[in-house]
Structure 1
Amino acid sequence: MIMENLAILVILSFVFISIIITDNLAILVIVSFVFVTIIHHILKSKLGTKTHKSTKFPPGPKPLPIIGNILELGNQPHKELAKLSQTYGPIMTLKLGNITTIVISSPMLAKQVLQIYDQNFSHRTIPDTVKVLDHHLYSVGWLPSSSPQWRILRRVCATRVFSPQQLDSTQVLRQKTLHELMNFVKEKSVKDEVLNIGETCFTTILNSVSNTFFSVNVAHYGESCKSQEFKDIIWGIGEESGRPNVVDFFPIFRFLDPQGARARMTKHTEKLIEFVDGLTEERLKSRALEKDTTNKRCNDVLDSILDVMLEENSQVTRLHVLHLFLILFMAGVDSTSITIEWTMTELLRNPEKLRKLREELQCVLGKGEQVLEESHISKLPYLRAVVKETLRMHPPAPLLAPHKASEDAEISGFMIRKDTQVWVNIWAMGKDSSVWENPNEFMPERFLDSKIDIHGRDFELLPFGAGRRMCPGLPLAYRSVHVVLASLLNGYDWKLPNGEDSKDLDMSERFGLTLHKAQPLQAIPIKSQQ
């Protein structure tokens, strides 16, 4: 026993030294493989092994000992998984270290997981980085759906944050940010300067969300340190949440944090929580100073949620409020802004689609720099089709958030064991030629005579998920994408800098919790002469 403990200590030291000198995931996995293999053999020799009775599992690529299929994920897991599904089918098994993962790549099977057996598959596999500051214990995004607290927070989202009445009442706050956007675009147009579409959309959506939630702008266009700080925080949280982490594959290394992911995530999360807590404290002090709080209300989301928190015997604490805003900020800003950037990119690559959309906007809004009101969206079928087509080709979360089976279940004749992780590859479904005609072509027209929508009822198109784990922020994201996109296009033509051909635009992706453009889109707004 002494010799065995000494061997383990030596191996741990070797692992720790390797971690210090490299941040390469592949090398870390190989080192981890050596370590875990030895420990596995030691435990096996002492304790023996227990095996489950044989069951019919979904097919999949043969895993390597211990590390399984980790190395097959590559830097673009959604694409690599799509390729593997062409060999092994729309339901397949991967071994990712200690985690058994089922990958779903067809609408029919997605319906079974997200609707028919929704209750069983609505739990979450929680990445190690999400556990910083106990976020998973307070967040509606990660609490188990069987938890009473999850149901309370979900109801708060539905009634106090994203209800039609709440969004209608805060529309004037978002309209202000649209006017600021148009002033910035006009300034760039007059100076014939290049506009960074990604950063501009990010600032616009960041201010739109912060106004909806807190009645304040938190960023400015152009060279803004505050904008860049928020961008670094939100993009940093998204990257750390979605980046492969050796700790998730081998929890035994959690105390080492070999890639430094938890340390970086803690820093980002603390900054965002501090920002939200400061606004909350300021609002609570303002309420305490006023006998008649109705005169000082901002009538934004923060006021609405504080009403719930301050109710007698409320089950919503201040920690719940802080972590709720944390995840709403993340989901609301990042995914919405990158969807607008991808849409602008596809339109610039397809000038005839852009012309058709601008004609529709002029017909409804008239000529000039008119800001679209949210009530106009229902009158713009081609705009809605353009957004759907973008979400089909560039879903913000290509694998959705991870699901987990709470009990054994059978899907399409295959056994899915309890605690198995489930990924739904909606990116692969959007590129499936058996589902979509010419799937690699940008064709908004496919949605004009189609009833397929993005609200979780049509499993061919699930950018926001479906079932009880569907993204609660869909109503705000839906409004924001359409009105910002229309505001950018109505009254302006766009050209690429340096005579660049639109067909040569870089369409490469950067994978994380959300799917960013690897190279930001830049274009010059030109005042329309029509």
Structure 2
Amino acid sequence: MALSSGLFPWFTAIFALLLFVKFLFKSKNGSSKRLPPGPPGWPVIGNMLDLGEVPHQALNSLQAKYGPVVWLRLGAINTMVVQTAEAATELFKKCDLPFADRKVPDSLTALDYYQGSVAIGTYGDYWRKLRRICTTEFLVHKRITASVSLRQKCIDNLVEWIKADVEKSRKSGGTGEIRLDSYLFVTAFNAIGNIMLSKDVMDSRLEKASDFFETFLVFMEWVGKPNLADFVPVLKWFDPQGIRRNSKKYLERLMDIAAGIVKERIKEKQSRVVKQTHDFLDALLDDEGDDLAKGPDRLTEKNITIVLLEMFFGGTETTSSTIEWGMSELLRNPDVLKKLQDEVDGVVGRDRTVKESDLNSLPYLQATVKEILRLHPVFPMLLPRNSMQETEFMGYDIPKDTQIFVNTWAIHRDPASWSDPLSFKPERFLESDIDFRGQNFELLPFGSGRRTCIGLALGHRMVSLSLANLVHSFDWKVGVGLNAETLDMGEKVGLTMRKLVPLKAIPSPRI
């Protein structure tokens, strides 16, 4: 998480307090422990300044001096950073269980959100049961396949929305330029809504933004802010930046809206209203009366509400950001865009849109998606893990409660694993068996092991289908005043890795 320059004034204000509690920051593990190498830290704040504005890039630069595993002290938090495929292999194959817990950001302790979460929940019986429900009811191949028509509807709406706005712009004398991120975000938001709730959650053309959508955006902004309290636990009581307070305020609104949806569905089930579809919320409510309803690990109505929200959190910005990065790379590499369009034309023709059933016949598309995930992993350091016990790792003694980052951004650009790693070359995957599902440790956009992203299959389908339809339905040019060489590819790190400058482009309908 970036430590922006706007946080530096806080150091002056709290420095005396930090000195007073400095004894809290000293290692409790003794000098006999063999820790990984790392840069020397400052008093009290440790290596916080070493994170820079873009942490995954700053940490990658330490690899040449300190090797594949780097040790940091971020305020009071012991932190280990894994930065090569070899080290990642050791972690996920040998230490997946002792490192299966999560470090929970202070912002998501509001309303005890983390206790009902799949992504950041504490590893234990409840978490395992909850993940089982999500993987067997929501994200198994059968259910994903059954929701094909819902995704297709959202993609068709996206194409028609862009067409209508471009035509409207040109009729009024404009260039037809659009800012793509808002289109993609709303599409991903509604795709999740359809799978979860069997309906659009908001107007597909943003003519009427729902309270849920607007609150969701503000909440995501607050949760994505760098928070000193995550590094210096004594500050959690003060919440000096107001991040937890504001996160709680907007989370309460989201919880109220989602709880209303859950209660309405419960009433429908009690009145035996016949539904044509059985969506994910129905599956959660079915399990509420199952074994989870018994004992301390029961799936409560509140936790169902949290899971409902989490699917929106996990599936919206990740999907839309990946597609935006992909379209940016295609505009910077017109030869790749042309090859992709030719492939889709050859399989689909020009008289219909791309369907999900076409995807397996588009190998260059699949290679392109893999290359996007390689260069632009939406979680460049995954979600931080936490060691549940002292563990030996690659000859080092890793203390209990150590925060663990897996720097996938560095792994994906490591010349030891990839030829010409900084170039966008989908061809590298055409004759390769390397996949992104967590078994090839040089490519880990969704993580691996017990904490693999549960939305992997669904996210991949959404990205592939969206990209295929965008390049098939339109010819694309970069925005006004730009060219392929000057397109900004800077990174902005918050909750996910987004483009620093949103993509502006000019589409022209082609089918």
How high is the TM-score relative to the length of structure 2? 0.92
SS in 2 for 1:401: coil
Distance apart, 1:85 and its partner CA: 1.9
Distance apart, 1:182 and its partner CA: 1.9
Distance apart, 1:242 and its partner CA: 4.1
CA–CA distance in structure 2, aligned partners of residues 105 and 242 of structure 1: 23
Kept after mapping to 2: 8 A contact 1:26/1:71: no
Distance apart, 1:374 and its partner CA: 2.1
Q: 1:360-419: CA deviations, max 9, x gaps?
A: 111111114x33222222111111111111111110000100111111112221111111
Q: Say if 1:266 and 1:23 are closer, same or farther in 2 by CA, change over 3 A.
A: farther
Distance apart, 1:480 and its partner CA: 0.6
Distance apart, 1:442 and its partner CA: 0.6
Which stretch shifts more, 238-247 or 324-333? 238-247
SS in 2 for 1:59: coil
Kept after mapping to 1: 8 A contact 2:379/2:497: yes
Q: Does 1:468 align with 2:445?
A: no
Which of 296, 299, 311 is the aligned partner of 2:278? 299
Paired position in structure 2 for 1:349 = 332
Which of 55, 61, 68 is the aligned partner of 1:83? 61
CA–CA distance in structure 2, aligned partners of residues 226 and 23 of structure 1: 33
Which stretch shifts more, 96-105 or 108-117? 108-117
- Structure 1 counterpart of 2:436, which letter? I
Structure holding more helix per residue: 1
CA–CA distance in structure 2, aligned partners of residues 114 and 165 of structure 1: 27
SS in 2 for 1:463: coil
CA–CA distance in structure 2, aligned partners of residues 309 and 326 of structure 1: 17
Q: Say if 1:49 and 1:475 are closer, same or farther in 2 by CA, change over 3 A.
A: closer
Paired position in structure 1 for 2:189 = 206
- Structure 1 counterpart of 2:364, which letter? Y
CA–CA distance in structure 2, aligned partners of residues 190 and 221 of structure 1: 17
Q: Say if 1:24 and 1:528 are closer, same or farther in 2 by CA, change over 3 A.
A: closer
- Structure 2 counterpart of 1:59, which letter? P
CA–CA distance in structure 2, aligned partners of residues 473 and 520 of structure 1: 25
CA–CA distance in structure 2, aligned partners of residues 51 and 122 of structure 1: 21
SS in 2 for 1:375: helix
SS in 1 for 2:257: helix
SS in 2 for 1:25: helix
Paired position in structure 2 for 1:93 = 71
Paired position in structure 2 for 1:61 = 39
Q: Does 1:136 align with 2:114?
A: yes
Q: Does 1:149 align with 2:164?
A: no
Distance apart, 1:49 and its partner CA: 9.9
Kept after mapping to 2: 8 A contact 1:194/1:522: yes
Q: Say if 1:49 and 1:485 are closer, same or farther in 2 by CA, change over 3 A.
A: closer
Q: Does 1:245 align with 2:227?
A: yes
CA–CA distance in structure 1, aligned partners of residues 390 and 400 of structure 2: 5
Kept after mapping to 2: 8 A contact 1:188/1:194: no
Distance apart, 1:243 and its partner CA: 3.2
Which of 454, 457, 462 is the aligned partner of 2:436? 454
Q: Does 1:116 align with 2:94?
A: yes
Kept after mapping to 2: 8 A contact 1:170/1:299: no
Q: Say if 1:166 and 1:35 are closer, same or farther in 2 by CA, change over 3 A.
A: same
Which stretch shifts more, 353-362 or 165-174? 165-174
Q: 1:464-484: CA deviations, max 9, x gaps?
A: 100000000111101111111
SS in 2 for 1:490: helix
Note the residue ranges of structure 2 that are not aligned, 5 or more in a row: 171-175
- Structure 2 counterpart of 1:130, which letter? L
Kept after mapping to 1: 8 A contact 2:202/2:213: no
Which of 423, 431, 440 is the aligned partner of 2:405? 423
Which stretch shifts more, 276-285 or 330-339? 276-285
CA–CA distance in structure 1, aligned partners of residues 360 and 504 of structure 2: 29
SS in 2 for 1:504: coil
Distance apart, 1:197 and its partner CA: 1.1
- Structure 2 counterpart of 1:89, which letter? G
Distance apart, 1:236 and its partner CA: 4.1
**CA RMSD, aligned part only?**
2.2
Kept after mapping to 2: 8 A contact 1:196/1:523: yes
Overall identity of the aligned pairs, in %: 37
Which of 297, 302, 307 is the aligned partner of 1:319? 302
Kept after mapping to 1: 8 A contact 2:385/2:403: yes
Q: Say if 1:490 and 1:39 are closer, same or farther in 2 by CA, change over 3 A.
A: closer
- Alignment of structure 1 residues 137-286 onto 2, 5 Å: 137-145=115-123, 147-191=124-168, 192=170, 193-226=176-209, 232-286=214-268
How high is the TM-score relative to the length of structure 1? 0.89
- Structure 2 counterpart of 1:72, which letter? D
Q: 1:74-126: CA deviations, max 9, x gaps?
A: 22111111112222111011111110100110011112222321001111111
Q: 1:15-63: CA deviations, max 9, x gaps?
A: xxxxxxx99312223443332213447x99xxx9976241221111101
Kept after mapping to 2: 8 A contact 1:115/1:466: no
Q: Say if 1:100 and 1:153 are closer, same or farther in 2 by CA, change over 3 A.
A: same
Kept after mapping to 1: 8 A contact 2:29/2:399: no
Larger radius of gyration: 1
CA–CA distance in structure 2, aligned partners of residues 67 and 497 of structure 1: 43
Distance apart, 1:428 and its partner CA: 0.9
